[in-house]
């Protein structure tokens, strides 16, 4: 796979505070979905990030609405986002249904788990 095949999700943060994106992505990539074994950045679970009044605001979804690891993943995401942005962070849960097209790396579709 080449780097050109990976589609980095663009957040509001990319336009407003581009200097913060790399550190935040690095911290959030430490949050792993335990059932799938991939991080929340790869899976595309972070739908948007913005800073408003010195508070980070993250819009996040889960791979399934009733994910048993959801509460723990949300708390870990918040903790890592606070580290990455160096400010308080609020997590807003989106209602979008996750699907494979939201992933940054399409080669991950070659798991053989899904037909």
Number of domains in the chain: 1
Range of the domain at 84: 8-107
DSSP string for 29-67:
TT-EETTTTEEHHHHT-EEEEEEETTEEEEEE--SSTT-
Tens digits of residue pLDDT in 20-58:
999 999 999 999 999 888 999 999 999 999 999 999 999
What's 54's domain CATH number? 3.30.300.130
pLDDT over 60 (residue 90): yes
Any domain includes 112: no
pLDDT over 60 (residue 74): yes
In this prediction, residue 8 carries a pLDDT of 87
């Amino acid at each position: 796979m080449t780097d050109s095949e990976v589609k980095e999700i663009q957040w509001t943060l990319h336009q407003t505070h581009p200097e913060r994106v790399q550190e935040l992505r690095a911290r959030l990539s430490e949050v792993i979905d335990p059932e799938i074994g991939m991080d929340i950045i790869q899976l595309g679970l972070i739908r948007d990030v913005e800073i408003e009044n010195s508070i980070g605001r993250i819009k996040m979804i889960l791979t399934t609405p009733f994910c048993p690891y959801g509460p723990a993943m949300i708390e870990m995401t918040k903790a890592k986002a606070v580290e990455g942005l160096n400010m308080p962070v609020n997590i807003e849960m989106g209602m979008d249904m996750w699907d494979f097209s939201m992933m940054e790396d399409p080669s991950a579709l070659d798991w053989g788990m899904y037909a």
